[in-house]
Structures are given as C-alpha cells and as structure tokens.
Amino acid sequence: MKIIIHGGFFSESDQSHEVKVAKQNSLKAIAAKAFDYLQSHTAEETAVYAVSLLEDDTLYNAGTGSQIQSDGKIRMSASLMNGENQKFSGVINIENVKNPIQVARVLMKENDRVLGGNGAKTYATANEFEDYSTEIPQRRKEYEAKVKNGGKGTVGCVALDRNGHLAAATSTGGKGFEIVGRISDSATVAGNYANRYCAVSCTGVGEDIVSNATAAKIVTRVTDGMNLEEAFEKTFAELKEIDGFAGAVAIDRNGNFFHRDSHPTMVFASFDGSTFEVFD
C-alpha cells in the first residue's frame, strides 16, 4: 500500500519560505491521513479522499482557493481513473461546488462519465452537492491585479491498495485569467491516467501536458515493458522538445514510486507506511 500526492509547483521567486514550509507540512499531513484511510479503503476511494483534502486546503489551486478566470468566475476541473476496471470520470469547468473530485467519483456509476459546464453543475445539484463558493480573498486580489496590469498548480493523488489495485485522481482551479471555456489537462487522460500496471497524475501547464499526452504515455510505456524511470525519461525528453512545463507523480503495480518535473519545483509527498519523501 502506497500513496503519492502533489500540489502543483513552488517558485522561490514569488512565494515565501513560510509558504514553502506550510506546503511541506500540509502535504506530509495529508499523505499520512490518506495512507491511514487506505488501510480500509480501495485505491479509488483513497485517491478521492486525498484530493478532497487538497481541494479543501487554500494553499493549493483546486477546490477552495481556485484561480479566477478572465470573466471573474471560478471554474474547476477534476478527474478520477480506476486502473483495475479502466473507468475514467470527470467534470470540466464546473462552478460552485466544494469538491469537484467528489462529483467525478459519483459519475463513475454513469454511462456518461465526463460532464462539462452547466451540465456538470446540474448533475452535481441533482446529486445533492450544495452550492459552495470556492473563492478566497487572496484570489480576488490576484485577479484584480491582473485586470489592472494585464499564476499554476493542480493537485493529485496516486494510490496503490492492499489488493494491488491502482487509481489516480487530479483536480485543478485552472491557470487564472484564462479565456472562458479553456479546458485543462486535469480532466483528460493526458493529465490523469491509470491501468493495472501504472497510475499517473500531472500538474503544470495544461496545454503542454495535453500536447505531450504525458500521463497516458508514461502508463502505456510501463504497460509495454519499460520500467517507471525509463518511461518518465522518454516522456519528459519528448516534453523538453516542445519546452513543456509539467510535473508528474506515479506508482507502478510493483509499488515503485517515481516523480519528475521539467522545471523546479513540483511540490509532492509520498508515504509507504514507514518512510516519507517530501519536496525540498
């Protein structure tokens, strides 16, 4: 049983040492809680649980604290993939729900498992998700500064459960001030993908991740016989060819962790029940 989570990127140039320490402590605490949860839950359930905790933490750009788009509204995207049954579900540009990843989780039971915009919100309301504003004052100030003068960070979790099943979940509040209708990688297989061999969650610039098909490539290469490090090496070499900005975390079916970023510094934490690894 293993857990690895991420919370986007950290930049020394625009974030303080205090924020860095806060993210290190937050990720370690969430990884520990998620690992405890994994003891009695499936990989899919645990991935949703961990991402929900990340969505609720205003340090990250997902759920509460999401970025604001160019028209002053928050629209969020999230997806979930179960590696065992190969089901993928997601919401794209959903508004006014607390935990988009939990809406994606409910969609797993449907034949139509990826919903966008008003349809996603209507579905959430029909399934008793209450209206909730995910805006925080800090994001409004950042938005107003961009309007006058005119930020990246997605969250995710990959889990391996006691039955050897893998799952990946990813959630984002977007890149901020984007064109209305823009779709990120987080609710696509480029940014969130899993099968019986490997599971991957990505963060970074969505357009680069989609262009590179990052998560799907890594998983496919592991499935075809590459080890995790080799799959990352080849995929990130191809990302470099387009000067892509991305980070990814992964676990394979043998319990191996791997993580990599194309630009410093992706924030992440992993835990296997005895050893933590947290970004520096």
- 3 state SS for 162-216: CCCCEEEEEEECCCCCCCCCCCCCCCCCCCEEECCCEEEEEEECHHHHHHHCHHH
Q: What is the pLDDT of residues 192-251, one digit of tens each?
A: 999 999 999 999 999 999 999 999 999 999 999 999 999 999 999 999 999 999 999 999
Which domains are seen in the chain, by residue range?
A: 2-67+135-170+185-278 (3.60.20.30)
The encoded tokens of residue 57 equal 């933490």
Secondary structure of residue 86 in the 3-state scheme: coil
Q: What is the pLDDT of residue 146?
A: 65
Secondary structure of residue 249 in the 3-state scheme: strand
Does the predicted TM-score (pTM) go above 0.75? yes
Residue 150 pLDDT class (50, 70, 90 cuts): very low
Q: State the catalytic residue, choosing from 64, 134, 154, 203.
A: 154
Residue 170 amino acid letter: T
Is 154 labeled as catalytic in the residue annotation?
yes
Averaged over 254-267, what is the pLDDT? 96
| Mean confidence (pLDDT) of the chain | 95
Residue 151 pLDDT class (50, 70, 90 cuts): very low
Q: Is the dihedral of CA 257, 259, 265, 266 positive or negative?
A: negative
Q: What is the pLDDT of residue 149?
A: 47
Report the interhelical angle of 117-126 vs 100-107 (nearest 10°): 80
pLDDT exceeds cutoff 80 at 51: yes
Give the C-alpha separation, 191 to 218, whole Å.
11
